[in-house]
Every structure is written in structure tokens, then in C-alpha cells.
Chain A
Amino acid sequence: MNSMPFQPEILWTDFLIFVLIGSFLVFIVYTLRHEHLRVPWRQVARRPMAMASMVILLAYVAVGLMDSIHFRPLQEGQNPEAPVYSNEVLSLLDKAAMPLRARTEKTYSAPFAMQAYSKETVEYPDGGHARENPRLLYGGAHLQDPSERAADIVRRAGTATLAALGLWSLLVVGFLLSWRQSHEPLMQTVRRLVRGKGEFPWRAVLITSGILIILVLNAVYLSLYYHIFGTDQVGQDVFYKSLKSIRTGLVIGTLTTLVMLPFAALFGIMAGYFRGWVDDVIQYVYTTLSSIPSVLLIAAAILTLQAYIATHPESFTSATERADIRLLFLCLILGVTSWTSLCRLLRGETLKLREVDYIQAARALGASHLSVMARHILPNVMHIILIAVVLDFSGLVLAEAVLSYVGVGVDPTMDSWGNMIVSARLEMAREPLVWWSLAAAFVFMFSLVLAANLFSDAVRDAFDPRLRK
């Protein structure tokens, strides 16, 4: 048997992410085919802030997707005839960031440091002892003398920035060439771009991309030589941990809504459409669910899952799988606690819609309940669902941190901003302060949530009929 260098592994959340992307593509195609759906999107696209946010979101999504393609690498030093794959599940991101992953120090070090944060007793060959900050194994290891560090960082940052600017200019030039109308002088195209003319805010998009490219290239290049966000207690690179946390945040923000949507939509529409006892039952269910304090419900559910994992250890062979199933379960239970509000909204809207003439007409013409709901009501409440999805996203990302603090968040072995904050909190008592884990979590989380908030604002403004007038 010929051996592959890896064995693909599809985790549950990976699968759902691909389903999500699939449905997203279908949604795009559907939207493009329907003029009335394209109109509000065009309105979103005209907002420079929304488009700049989208560029940032796309960058996050790219990292998240790279981290969602998993495989088991070949165990090293094995017989190629009978390949043995590692128990450790890696992702494409792990592979790409292998230098970051592998270069762990012994314990804490500050961003861009060359020396460990805490002093150690060092034994000299002559038998003497001293307490000093030892040099790091990797951070700044290419330098002879600590005094060269500042100059080295500036030089490398300069190189990276120059390269980034070059790359960005290529992008801009490429864009200009394709954007240029036939026979238009190039200078005029440039002028159009600089003045922000045209339907689509290309200027904002290009500037954001430029900044993003500069930041990314700097981070990538410098992280090869330094720990740009420092290292944590066991010497892991904090930058790498922050990157790994992106997927966790995105999964919680998106999958939660994905899993709850079908239920919320189905029950909400059914309750409003059929009324009577169906309505009573559905209302009873969601009032009951929403009246339980959600933290308690989540805590109980997470504990239940742990009991299940503990009694079925054979189903989860790797730590990654266990962490993944817990993440999925957290999404499910967060979905259960959050579907009720959307359900209530849909029920109200459907109650109004079912009295509308054309739906009455469709019924009179003998259309089945199912087809009325699917073909007439659902499309008309779609905007509510869409707004709920984009608005919930940032709230869910933030909720993850709080749940981790309470102890019912994602698996402790999983990288997430919540876990980073919780463990960083204990570091706040150190003197001098270990601030970088907290800062890294803050920066990454804040930019994602801010971008999502700005984008969702634009979506809501475009789709909410109350605001559209």
C-alpha cells in the first residue's frame, strides 16, 4: 500500500462549517438571481465602513477555514509500507504556522523579548550561581547581543513593510487596469479611485486591504524571529494561540445560529400560521425554555456532555475530537437558549402575513400548507432571519468569554479568547505585569467583534423595513 503523507480527518464542526459555506454559496446564487434581494445588498455594498469591515472579516474567515481542514500526519520514523498516522490531529493552519507551533520556550517571555521574563538560577562552569534572565531558545536567537535588538526589529519591520507596500501597489495597479473603462486615461481612473467615485467604495476596500497586508506581512516576518505577542506560562507563542482562537470564535458565532435557525424558523412560522393548539404548544415550549436562566441551562448541558464523554471514551480518541464535540455541543445549547427570541419574532410576523391577500388567495387556490409556508411566508420573513443572524454573531463571540469564565465554556484544551482571558487574569498579579496574553486576546477579539458589529449595522439598515423608508 502506498502511503499518503497524511490522513484527512473531518471533525464534526468542520463538516458543519462546510455545510454552512455550501448554504452560503447557495444563498449568494439565489440572491444574485432575484433582483428584489439584490437591492438591499447593493445598499450594504455602498457603505465604505461595511466594506472595510468585510475585508477584515474575510481575513478572519480565511484563517478560520485554514484551521478547519484537519488531518493526521504520518508518524515520524515509521515504515512507509504500513503507514501509521499520529493520534494528533493537525490543521492546515498548524502546518502553515509550524515554526510558531514548534518554537516553545520554557515559560513566559514578553513580546519581542530575547530573554525570559522570570529569573532563573544559572549555574556557571566554575560552580558559581546567579539569578538572571536567561536567553530565550528561539526569540531573538539569531542575535549575538541584546543591544542589537531594537535596530534588528526596525530593520525587519521596514523590510516587511516595504514588501507589503510593493505587494499592495501590485494589487492596486491590477485593480486599476481591470477597473479602467475602455479608452479612459489611466490618470482619470486613479482620480476616480482617490475621490471615492462610483457605486462601490473601492477606495475604502483598498486602503483596508493595504493596512491589512502591511500588518500581516509584518506579523509573519517578525514572528519568524521573535515571539511578537510573547509566550505564555508553558512557553507557547501567544500569537499562535490567538490565531488558533479565531476558529473557535467564528464557529461559536456562526454554527450556533446555523443549528438554531431551522427550529426557530419552522416553529415560529408554524405557530403563526396554524395558530390554535400548535401555537399553544410552541409558545409553551419557548416560554418554558426562555424562563430558565440560560447560564444554568448551559452549565447543566455541558456537565451532561462531560458525563457522556466520560462514559464513552472510546468514541473520542484524540484530545482534538473531545474538544471539538464539546464545542459543537456548546453551539447546540447556546442555540437552544437563543432561538426563542427569533421564534417569537417570526411568529408575530407570520400572524400578520397570513392575513395578507395573496396568501389568502394562494390558500383559496388550493396550495398546500407546506407550500404556502415555504414559498410565500418564508421568503417574506427572510429579512428578519438575516438580521438576527448577523446581529447575534458578535454577541455569541463575546458570550464565549463569559461562559469560559464561569467554567462552562469550550474545552480547556481548546484555544479560545475566553480561555486566554481567564488564564491571563491570574497573571495580572505578577510584577512586572504579564499583560501580553490579555492584550493579544483583546486585540484579536475586539477587531473581529467590531468589524462584525459595523457590518451587521449596515445589513440591518439595509434590510429592516422600518429603517428603510
Chain B
Amino acid sequence: MIGYIIRRLLYAIPILIGVNLLTFTLFFFVNSPDDMARIHLGGKRVTPEAIVKWKDDHGYNKPLLYNSGRPGTGKITDTIFYRYSVRLFVFDFGSSDQGRDIRNDISQRMWPSLAIALPVFLVGILVHITFAMLLAFFRGSYLDTSGVVLCVIMMSISSLFYVIGGQYLISMLLRLVPISGYDLGFEAVKFLILPIIVGVVGGIGASTRLYRTFFLEEINKDYVRTARAKGLSELRVLFRHVLKNAMIPILTGVVVVIPLLFTGSLILESFFAIPGLGSYTIDAIHSQDFAIVRAMVFLGSVLYITGLILTDITYTLVDPRVRLE
């Protein structure tokens, strides 16, 4: 298995190179280094000399992919792409075009992101499984039918409405929690309650419905019938046998997103003014800070690939029949 993991990790390298190639090309098609210089030098009284100087300072005065003016390997290495993308592989993100160290920023903003994403993820799974089990338990009854209809209704509502509605109701009308913001330590709790509730509620519809089908699939299997025939109560059957087996598709489905929890949620973070990585990314797009964009794309890809590998490993752990080769 270790051999397999190593091979997967090696395979990640060409993927990451591809990711970088794509982001660099797209970004430089949109933003010429001149544009970037202008943005960072501000709107007033910018001279052409200042722009040339800025480009020199930040290494954007070179060709993007191929430097025909250089001998030998210099043709490849003396380019923006080589200069900036190789460093990413050792997680040296350098400093943003504004001059702040990106790794420092990421390590700071990671925690608020996690503070929202992790509870949303854990509470979410718990709530969704509970609801799904309830529906499965009452399968066929009016509770089940109305529950499923409710799920479909809930998943037909745009996530923006959950946020807007939650903010309006809980914060503005009832004044129960601060409307937005963030604080360090224990003080953060009052800011996190609402986004977490909104995040969990917004996901109920789709997840509950999906998990319900997992439960129903298990419930209809022979071993469950046998257990029931043995006289085990319905609840015990559900908890002892069905839950355990239905957890396999649920877990393997969610493992892939675990690493991505670090990058946070774009919408929740920007609506609730949480200084996490999600809002960091949005801000970088808006201010066209390429250093941050490429760092976040790279980080996102690395985490995604990690998630894929974790998923494979989970498969072997929960199902011994699967072997990685």
C-alpha cells in the first residue's frame, strides 16, 4: 500500500504542472503585467517608468513560457512560468504582489476557515445521518413521504436565500447573534453559530435524501431481514447493522472533501465577514493579485489530490476486499 501511495504522489506532479500551466496561461491572457503594475501602483499619477520599474522588481518583465533570447535551458528557466511555478512545489508561495508573505497569510486565515468548515462538516454529517435514519425508520409512512418532499423543497432553494434569510431573521429581527464579524478564541463562538446553522441547514435537503437511499438499500438486504426475523427490534437492527454498513458509502463519499475544508467556503465567509481562505481567494480575484491566485489554485489542487488518495485508502480500510495495487 505504501508503494501505491508513493506512486499516486508521483503521479500528482504532472497533474500539478498541468494545473499551473493552465492558471498561468489563463491569467496572463487576462492580466498583462502592465495591468498588474497599474493596479498595485494605484490609480493616480502613474508613469510608464514606474510601471517598468515595478515589473522589473517583481520579475514580470520576462516572457511567460519560452524565452527565445536565452541560451540552452535558459529558454525554459528564465521565464515567468518557471520562476514562479517551481517554487510552488516546495510550498514557497513567496510574497503577494502587495508585498505580504502568502504562506504567513494562509497559515493565519486557515483557522477561521476551519472554524466554520469543520463544524459545518461534522454537525452536517451528524444531522443529515440522523434525519436520513429517521426517514428510513419511518419508511413508507406519511412521515417519510413528507420528509422526502421537504428535502426536495429545501434543495430547490438557492443557498443565497438561506444566508440572506438567516441573517435577516436571526440577526436583524431577533438580534440573537452579531450579524457578521469574527474574533479570536472563545469569543468567536457567537460569530460562528449563525454561519454554521446556515451551512448545515442549506445542506440538509440534498444529503438527507441521498443518505436515505443508502439506508434503504441496506435495509432491503437479506442480512437485515434475517436479523429482524431473529426478533431484534427495529431500532437495534437500524443501529447495529444498517448504520454500520450504510456508513461505508457515506464515508467514502465525504472523505474527498475533508482536505478541502481548509480552503473554506466562499459564500459563508464573504457574507459573514469571516477572514478565512475563501474570502482571501475572492479578494485576490477582485484585486487581481496573481501571486495569491496561483497559490490558492495550487493549494486547492494539492488538497483535492490528497482527498482522492484518502478516499482510496478509506475504501481499503472499510472494505477489506478492495486492494490497492
Collect the chain A residues with CB atoms within 8 Å of residue B267's CB: 402, 405
Nearest B residue (CB) for A466: B217
Check if B285 sits within 8 Å of A299, measured CB to CB: yes
Tell me whether B273 is interfacial, beta carbon within 8 Å: no
Interface centre among B14, B263, B266, B308 (most CB of A within 10 A): B266
A255 interface residue (CB < 8 Å to B) = no
Q: Does B304 contact A (CB under 8 A)?
A: yes
**A284→B14 contact, CB < 8 A:** yes
**Residues of A with C-beta under 8 A to B152:** 450, 453-454, 457
- B160–A421 touching, CB < 8 Å: yes
Whether B158 contacts A401 by the Cβ 8 Å rule is yes
Are A304 and B30 closer than 8 Å at their CB atoms? Answer: yes
Q: Which residues of B279-311 have CB atoms within 8 Å of chain A's CB atoms?
A: 281-282, 285-286, 293, 296-297, 300-301, 304-305, 308
CB within 8 Å of B: which of A254-313? Answer: 284-285, 287-288, 290-293, 295-297, 299-301, 303-304, 306-307
CB contact between A296 and one of B30, B156, B285 (< 8 Å): that residue: B285
Query: In the assembly, what is the distance between CA of A295 and CA of B278, in Å?
Result: 11
A449 contacts B282, CB within 8 Å? no
- Chain A interface, >50% SS class: helix
Q: Which of these binds chain A: B20-28, B48-56, B84-92, B231-239?
A: B20-28
Residue of A nearest to B157 (CB): A446
Within 8 A of A (CB), among B1-31: 14-15, 18-19, 22-23, 26-27, 29-31
Please determine whether A291 and B23 come into contact, CB atoms closer than 8 angstroms: no
| A421-B160, A449-B156, A450-B152 known; A295-B15 Cβ under 8 A | no
Q: Which residues of A contact B15 (CB under 8 A)?
A: 284, 287-288, 291
B77 located at the interface, meaning its Cβ lies under 8 Å from any Cβ of chain A in the complex: no
Whether A406 is near chain B, meaning CB under 8 Å from some CB there, is: yes
Q: Return B177 CB to nearest CB of chain A, in Å.
A: 17
Give the chain A neighbours of B158 by CB distance below 8 A: 398, 401-402, 417, 421, 442, 445, 449
Does A109 belong to the interface (CB within 8 Å)?
no
Q: Contact check, A292 vs B296: say whether CB atoms are below 8 A apart.
A: no
B159 within 8 Å of A by Cβ? Answer: yes
Residue A21 at the chain B interface, CB threshold 8 Å: no
Check A296/B18 contact, CB under 8 A, given A303-B30, A402-B159, A446-B157. Answer: no
New contact pairs (9) apart from A288-B19, A304-B26, CB-CB < 8 Å: A291-B15, A291-B19, A293-B304, A401-B159, A401-B160, A406-B285, A421-B161, A445-B158, A450-B153
Contact surface of A with B, Cβ cutoff 8 Å: 284-285, 287-288, 290-293, 295-297, 299-301, 303-304, 306-307, 394, 398, 401-402, 405-408, 417, 421, 425, 428, 438, 442, 445-446, 449-450, 453-454, 457
